Structure 1
């Protein structure tokens, strides 16, 4: 998995690309939190849920189906999320977690298509170093992970955010 803060960067960059008029700051912040949420599945490991189970790490919680259910549940209780741009943003923010995890070079893959399939998927190219969990994050492997994330996720996200900001400034 990419580091938790990298998962938050993608929706924030997408919100900056779209602009405040389309994605208000509170919705952008909610999206960044939702992008980190799927990794809460690691709690199951402490309760005997096997990593490879459908509900194990990178399984159902990383699926498009769960991303849709989460976005729908939020839209049901939060009026600011009851429009198509906000709903779609929250869905994509949540879904971005699994899509990013599919770029990593380790683990069992992502249950993106659950419940239709329990197959674990990766992208054909996996350039992002998988993040060590726990104290291993503060190791040379953690540094390598951050370096690969900077190149493959943070830099492209920053470019997209800058494009959106520059385009709005030009129009103003």
Structure 2
């Protein structure tokens, strides 16, 4: 599973690629909705570790990693933001759902593990991509195992790559408009 590094950078980049009319309600100031909101939504599914810390029970990759939770989360957040900011519910819902779904997609593209129960509660089937973009993490080996450094290096490389693609895309778009 990707760490918060890949989820955060992916959420930020996905938000910047979305059409302006979909994300314009988020352009408030540099720290809030324009930049912070996409990162927060993209990593939110992994906040399921908090109950795990308190109870000791395994929650990770549970209900927060399902499409039904992504839809419910997006509906609730969309309603709250549209109510308090007088923004378009439809735009906020769609923006939030796309960002949240980016987390699920990255987790699907990870080697190892049993996959995700994306369609729970409709089915208990685990879904997993046959294509792996992210290497498997071996939590049982301890924090300082070499495989973790390789994993982090891979994620940093992935992050640099997608931010570079965003930068190139923005520069190409701005140069087309200036001609």
Per the alignment, in what secondary structure is the counterpart of residue 107 of structure 1? coil
Segments of 5+ residues of structure 2 without an aligned counterpart are 28-32
Cross-structure match for 2:114: 108
What is the distance in 2 between the residues matched to 1:75 and 1:18? 17
1:168–1:64 Cα change, 3 Å: same
Give the deviation of 1:163 after TM superposition.
4.7
Give the deviation of 1:106 after TM superposition.
2.1
Cross-structure match for 2:46: 39
Cross-structure match for 1:162: 167
Query: Higher relative contact order by CA 8 Å / sep ≥ 6: 1 or 2?
Result: 1
What is the distance in 2 between the residues matched to 1:68 and 1:27? 21
Give the deviation of 1:132 after TM superposition.
5.2
1:86–1:164 Cα change, 3 Å: farther
1:116–1:165 Cα change, 3 Å: same
Contact 1:14 1:157 in 2 (8 A): no
Give the deviation of 1:67 after TM superposition.
0.9
What is the distance in 1 between the residues matched to 2:172 and 2:89? 24
* Paired residue total: 166
Q: What TM-score do the two structures reach when normalised by structure 2? A: 0.76
Give the deviation of 1:48 after TM superposition.
4.8
RMSD, aligned α-carbons? 2.8
Give the deviation of 1:150 after TM superposition.
4.0
